[in-house]
Amino acid sequence: MHSVHHGMCTVYLADTVSAIADNPTRPGLRSADSMLYCLPRCRTSMGECAFSLSGPLAWNALPSTLRDIADGTHFRKLLKTHFFNSLP
* pLDDT tens readout for residues 55-86: 999 999 999 999 999 999 999 999 999 999 99
Domain count, the chain: 1
d(CA 51, CA 56): 8
pTM over 0.85, yes/no: no
Amino acid 34: pLDDT? 75
5: amino acid identity, one letter: H
Report yes or no on 45 lying in a domain: yes
Amino acid 77: pLDDT? 97
Report yes or no on 85 lying in a domain: no
Amino acid 32: pLDDT? 63
* pLDDT tens readout for residues 7-40: 899 999 999 998 887 777 766 677 666 788 988 8
Report yes or no on 83 lying in a domain: no
> Taking the C-alpha atoms of 29, 70, 41 and 21 in order, what is their torsion angle to the nearest 10 degrees?
20
Residues 6 or more apart in contact with residue 71 via CB below 8 angstroms? none
Residues 6 or more apart in contact with residue 17 via CB below 8 angstroms? 1, 4, 37, 38, 51, 52, 55, 56
Q: Which domain holds residue 13?
A: 2-62
